[in-house]
Amino acid sequence: MLPPFARNFLLFVLLLTLSVRAAEPSWPQFRGPDGTGVAAGGKAPVHFGPATNLLWKVPLPAGHSSPCIVGNLIFLTGVEKGQLFTFCLDRRDGHLLWRRAAATESVEPAHRTGSPAAPTPATDGERVYVYFGSFGLLCYDLDGNEKWYQKLPPPIVEFGTSTSPILAGDLLILNCDQDMNSYLLAVDKRTGETKWRVERTGFFRGFATPFLWRHDGAEEIIVPGNVWLKSYNLADGKERWRVQGMARVSGASPTAGDGLLFVASWNVGGDESDRLTMPPFDEYLAANDKNKDGKISTAEMPKGPLSSRFSQIDVNKDGVATRVEWETMSGVFAKAENCLMAIRPGGTGDITQTHVLWKQKRSLPYIPSPLHYQGRLYTIRNGGMATCWDAKTGQPLYQDERLGTLGDYYASPVAADGKVYFTSQKGVIVVVQAGDALNILAKNDLGEAIQATPALVEGKLYVRTAGQMMAFGEK
Beta carbons of 397 and 385 less than 8 angstroms apart? no
Q: How many domains does the chain divide into?
A: 2
Asked if residue 8 belongs to a domain, the reply is no
Same domain, residue pair 199 and 300: no
Residue 302 lies in a domain: yes
Alpha carbon dihedral 326, 335, 133, 140, in 10-degree steps, equals: -160
Tens-digit pLDDT string for the chain (475 aa)? 445 544 544 444 444 344 334 458 899 999 999 999 999 877 899 999 999 999 999 999 999 999 999 999 999 999 999 999 999 999 999 999 999 999 988 898 888 888 999 999 999 999 999 999 999 999 999 999 999 999 999 999 988 999 999 999 999 999 999 999 999 999 999 999 999 999 999 999 999 999 999 999 999 999 999 999 999 999 999 999 999 999 999 999 999 999 999 999 999 888 877 788 899 999 999 999 999 999 999 999 999 888 988 999 999 999 999 999 999 999 999 999 999 999 999 999 999 999 999 999 999 999 999 999 999 999 999 999 999 999 999 999 999 999 999 999 999 999 999 999 999 999 999 999 999 999 999 999 999 999 999 999 999 999 999 999 999 998 7
Domain co-membership, 252 together with 144: yes
Following DSSP, what letter does each residue of 271-324 receive, concatenated? Answer: SGGG------HHHHHHHH-TT-SSSEEGGGSPSSTTGGGHHHHSTT-SSEE-HH
DSSP assignments along 345-363, one per residue: S---EE-TTTSEEEEE-SS
CATH code, 319: 1.10.238
Task: Give dist(CA 434, CA 384) in Å, integer.
Answer: 17
CATH of residue 440: 2.130.10.10
* CA 4 to centroid of chain Cα atoms: 48
Asked whether residue 300 falls in the same domain as residue 356, the answer is no
Considering the domain architecture, whether residues 221 and 117 belong to the same structural domain is answered as: yes
Last residue of a domain, one of 317, 334, 351: 334
> Other C-beta atoms within 10 Å of 1: how many?
5
Query: 343 and 222 in one domain?
Result: yes
Residues 46 and 97 in one domain: yes
Host domain of residue 306: 280-334
Claim: this prediction has a pTM higher than 0.85: yes
SS3 431: strand
Residues 428, 354 share a domain: yes
**Is 141 among the domain residues?**
yes
> Residue 439 CA to chain centroid, in angstroms?
27
Q: Are 270 and 365 in contact (CB under 8 A)?
A: no
Q: How far is CA 229 from CA 264, 294, 452, in A?
A: 10, 34, 24
